[in-house]
């Protein structure tokens, strides 16, 4: 069996890349410090592979073809198409096809119905955290697109189930020397391209953090089902955090930092789970 080495999470606000030089120096220092600390924790965990959870920002999919979950099973993945990411992320990005295929097979064998992609392109959602963590070497990537963009979306309880499924797939992968981590990207509260664009719901974010730290699974699910929609259309990316949380057994959450960051329109959070 492969070894699960931890879950991690970080916001992926595109202005962290596109408008980096325009941000106030204090903001750049806060964001840099949080990503560097997250990078230290990922490095200490020594993952050979990162399963990265992110929405697709209309790069691989659109309304005429929008899977709820899509697992990248390619040997490599395309780098981000956004012009502001071109100088930061190499392309192609190495994958772990065998683990990706094993996750898909395990899912199908347990009454889950994911889509798969042999040629996925990883946009800023996948790549900003990997770049900003300043890892000496980026692990192999198994990308999993979670539809956080357009309803209908996975229920929060189904996200819990997906996290447990990932843990099961990692534990049953036959390479006992493979070290696997999970990285959730996106969130927390924000609103993009809507009349309330720029609104950040700090009370929502703080309660999310509290429930990840100490709340029972049911309380977390109930709160998110009741309040995520009102926290902005970007707040749906908290689903990725829920999956990472469940993959870690729903325990060990450690907040690295949380910042209300209007300059990038996002309630930015960074965290890890010890599992």
- Residue holding tokens 């990248």? 72
Alpha helices in 215-273 (DSSP H): 217-227, 238-247
The model's pLDDT over 72-125, given as tens digits with 9 standing for 90+, comes to 999 999 999 999 887 777 789 999 999 999 999 999 999 999 999 999 999 999
The model's pLDDT over 57-67, given as tens digits with 9 standing for 90+, comes to 999 999 999 99
Total-model pTM: 0.97
pLDDT at position 168 is: 98
Going from the N-terminus, what domains does the chain have, and what CATH number goes with each?
A: 3-273 (3.40.830.10)
Reference 267, options 185, 198, 196; nearest CA is: 198
The model's pLDDT over 152-202, given as tens digits with 9 standing for 90+, comes to 999 999 999 999 999 999 999 999 899 999 999 999 999 998 888 999 999
The model's pLDDT over 27-55, given as tens digits with 9 standing for 90+, comes to 999 999 999 999 999 999 999 999 999 99
How far apart are the C-alpha atoms of 262 and 128, rounded to whole Å? 18
pLDDT at position 187 is: 94
Cβ–Cβ under 8 Å, residues 95 and 77? yes
How far apart are the C-alpha atoms of 142 and 135, rounded to whole Å? 17
Alpha-carbon Rg of the chain, whole angstroms? 17
CB count, 10 Å around CB of 165? 23
Predicted confidence band of residue 253 (pLDDT cuts 50, 70, 90): very high
pLDDT at position 164 is: 98
Q: Is 136 helix (H, G, I), strand (E, B) or coil?
A: coil
> With 0-12 CB in 10 A as exposed, 13-18 as middle and 19+ as buried, what is 146?
buried
Structure tokens at 121: 């392109």
pLDDT at position 233 is: 95
Rounded to 5°, the CA angle 85-241-17 comes to 15
């Amino acid at each position: 069996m492969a070894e699960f080495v931890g879950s991690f999470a970080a916001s992926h606000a595109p202005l962290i890349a596109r408008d980096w030089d325009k941000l106030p120096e204090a903001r750049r220092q806060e964001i840099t410090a949080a990503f560097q600390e997250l990078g230290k924790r990922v490095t200490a965990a020594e993952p050979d592979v990162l399963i990265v959870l992110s929405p697709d920002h209309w790069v691989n999919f659109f309304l005429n073809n929008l899977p709820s979950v899509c697992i990248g099973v390619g040997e490599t993945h395309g780098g981000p198409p956004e012009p502001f990411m071109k100088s930061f992320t190499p392309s192609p990005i190495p994958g772990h096809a065998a683990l990706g295929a094993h996750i898909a097979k395990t899912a199908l064998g347990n009454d889950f119905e994911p889509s798969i992609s042999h040629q996925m392109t990883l946009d800023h959602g996948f790549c900003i955290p990997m770049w900003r963590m300043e890892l000496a070497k980026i692990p192999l990537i198994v990308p999993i697109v979670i539809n956080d963009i357009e309803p209908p979306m996975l229920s929060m309880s189904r996200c819990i189930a997906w996290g447990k499924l990932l843990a099961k797939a990692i534990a049953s992968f036959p390479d006992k020397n493979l070290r696997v981590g999970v990285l959730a990207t996106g969130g927390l509260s924000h609103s993009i391209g809507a009349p309330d664009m720029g609104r950040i719901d700090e009370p929502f974010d703080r309660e999310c953090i509290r429930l990840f730290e100490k709340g029972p699974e049911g309380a977390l699910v109930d709160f998110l089902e009741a309040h995520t929609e009102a926290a902005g259309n970007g707040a749906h990316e908290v689903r990725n955090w829920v999956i990472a949380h469940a993959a870690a057994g729903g325990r060990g959450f450690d907040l690295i930092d949380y910042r209300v960051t209007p300059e990038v329109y996002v309630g930015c959070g960074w965290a890890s789970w010890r599992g």
